[in-house]
C-alpha cells in the first residue's frame, strides 16, 4: 500500500504546479485551458508533452555542448601576444600555475555539471520510457539534484563577461569573448529549461499501472 499509494490523479484531482492548490480535475473542453482558481496558472495533471520537450531540449544542448567546449572561450592579448583559450585549456592553465581550487571550480561548473546534467536527464527519460520500477526514490533525488546545481554552470559566462568588461587597458592587455561563449551560455540555459520541462511525477506513474 505504501509503495503504490493514492495519487492526486487517481482521485481525479489536480495539484496546481505553481501554488500547489488541490483542485478537482477539469473536464476537458475543446480549445480551452483550465486555470487554477487561486493563482491563475494553467492546470494540468502532468506537465504537457514533458518527455518530448525534454528530449528536444536535451538534444539541442548536446549539440551545443561540442562547440562550447571545442571553440575558444576567451581571446587574450597582452603585451603583443595573443592567446586563445578553450574551457579545458583554461582549466589546465590554472592547474599548471598551481591554482588548483580555481581549476576545480571551473572544471566542475563548466565541464562536469553540464555533462552530468545531460546524462542524468537522458537516463531519467529512458528509464521513464522503459517503465522502469527500480530506484524510484533515487531517481527523484537525481532529478532534484539537476534542478539545484544547473545554475552554477553560468559562472564561466560571467567570468568571461567580467574579463571582457574589465580588461581594456589600452595596448597593455585586452580580453575578448571567444566564439564558444554564446554556445556555452546556450548549453546552460537550455539544460535549465530541459530540467524544468521534465515532470518527476512520470517516474512514479508506473506504480499506478500495477493495480
Q: Which is nearer to Zn ion, 38 or 168 (CB)?
A: 38
Quickly tell me which residue has 493563482 as its cell: 39
Where residue 131 falls (left for φ over 0; alpha for ψ -120 to 50; beta otherwise) is left
Site for other proteins in 51-90 (CB under 8 A): 78
Quickly tell me which residue has 537525481 as its cell: 142
Distance between terminal CA atoms of the chain? 11
Contact call for residue 185 and other proteins (CB under 8 A): yes
Stretch that binds other proteins, among 49-57, 116-124, 127-135, 152-160 (CB under 8 A): 152-160
77 φ/ψ angles, rounded to the nearest 5 degrees:
-120, 120
Of positions 106, 121, 125, 128, contacts other proteins by CB under 8 A: 106
Choose from Zn ion, other proteins, none: what does 182 bind? Cβ within 5-8 Å by kind.
other proteins
C-alpha cell at 26: 477539469
Of positions 60, 176, 179, 206, contacts other proteins by CB under 8 A: 176
Contact call for residue 136 and other proteins (CB under 8 A): yes
Q: Which is nearer to Zn ion, 39 or 70 (CB)?
A: 39
C-alpha cell at 80: 603583443
Choose from Zn ion, other proteins, none: what does 204 bind? Cβ within 5-8 Å by kind.
other proteins
Contact call for residue 137 and other proteins (CB under 8 A): yes
Q: Which residues contact 5 (CB under 8 A, 6 or more apart)?
A: 207
d(CA 2, CA 11): 16
Stretch that binds other proteins, among 62-70, 115-123, 124-132, 139-147 (CB under 8 A): 139-147
3-state secondary structure (DSSP) of residue 167 = coil
The least distance separating other proteins from the CB of residue 2, rounded to whole angstroms, comes to 7
Amino acid at each position: 500500500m505504501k509503495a503504490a499509494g493514492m495519487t492526486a490523479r487517481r482521485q481525479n484531482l489536480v495539484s496546481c504546479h505553481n501554488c500547489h492548490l488541490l483542485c478537482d480535475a477539469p473536464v476537458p473542453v475543446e480549445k480551452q485551458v483550465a486555470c487554477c482558481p487561486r493563482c491563475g496558472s494553467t492546470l494540468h495533471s502532468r506537465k504537457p508533452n514533458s518527455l518530448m520537450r525534454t528530449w528536444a531540449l536535451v538534444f539541442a544542448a548536446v549539440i551545443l555542448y561540442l562547440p562550447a567546449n571545442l571553440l575558444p572561450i576567451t581571446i587574450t592579448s597582452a603585451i603583443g601576444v595573443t592567446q586563445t583559450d578553450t574551457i579545458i585549456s583554461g582549466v589546465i592553465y590554472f592547474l599548471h600555475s598551481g591554482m588548483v581550487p580555481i581549476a576545480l571550480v571551473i572544471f566542475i561548473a563548466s565541464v562536469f555539471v553540464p555533462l552530468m546534467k545531460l546524462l542524468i536527464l537522458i537516463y531519467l527519460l529512458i528509464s521513464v520510457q522503459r517503465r522502469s520500477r527500480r530506484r524510484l526514490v533515487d531517481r527523484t533525488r537525481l532529478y532534484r539534484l539537476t534542478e539545484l546545481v544547473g545554475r552554477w554552470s553560468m559562472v564561466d559566462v560571467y567570468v568571461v563577461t567580467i574579463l571582457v568588461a574589465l580588461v581594456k587597458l589600452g595596448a597593455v592587455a585586452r580580453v575578448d569573448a571567444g566564439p564558444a561563449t554564446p554556445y556555452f551560455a546556450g548549453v546552460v540555459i537550455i539544460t535549465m529549461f530541459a530540467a524544468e520541462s521534465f515532470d518527476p511525477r512520470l517516474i512514479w506513474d508506473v506504480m499506478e499501472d500495477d493495480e
